Structure 1
Amino acid sequence: MEMLTGPMHTLRSGEISVLRGGREILHLNMEDKRIGIDLQDIQPIRDLLNLLNLKKLKQLKGVAEKLREDGLTITVSHKGDTALKLGAEANPRFARLITLSAAIEISSIGKLIQIIREA
């Protein structure tokens, strides 16, 4: 977990666009202790998820809880629409019943389902 959250403490602000074949596939926006991830193309993310095997809720829960402990937040969006928040600013509402964690917020179940289907 430290490998993920450690560098996040040193980042202050900025934006990064990741291009593949001249097309933007991912846009990162960093501000204070927040990182926004806007997925423009799902295929590379699918490959990354398969490589990291982060599909298991237990692992995602562990990452989210570590982010919360460290006061950090990751927001996952698809083409500008927020689907998921992990960490300190997550407000889980009903998702807490599913994830059993106060550190995972499902902002849009429809968008999350779309990301999962496309992945």
Structure 2
Amino acid sequence: MAKRPGTDDGMLPSPTAFRDFAAGDVNMECGDGEAEVSLEEILKLYSQPINEEQAWAVFYQCGRTLAQKHRRKSSKSTGASPVSYPRKIEGPGDVRIARDGTVKLRFEDSTDTYQPAPTSLE
């Protein structure tokens, strides 16, 4: 099968691969000067989904963050505030990606009530 031009594996290189980030010609600040941007904003900017490798990296870091928060919750006394406990990730707006690639979870103030998915038996 013929390979696509661009790289040895047949994939086209990203346009950002040719940019000189050290030269300062790229604004690494997010919209209002924040050092992180939401996954939702990234998806809107690129107008396409992230690739499989990027998705697994985001899933891994989200799971790791939730597990760390769960361990902290378990090790704290029972008097800890429920606001500090991990919550359900509602969507890509809750996932924040920092300039260095680390993933943070930010939850908007909400009722945070567990609602099971509807079943066909109802």
Normalising by structure 1, what TM-score? 0.27
| TM-score computed with the length of structure 2 as normaliser | 0.26
Select the structure that is richer in strand.
Answer: 1
Larger of the two Rg values belongs to structure:
2
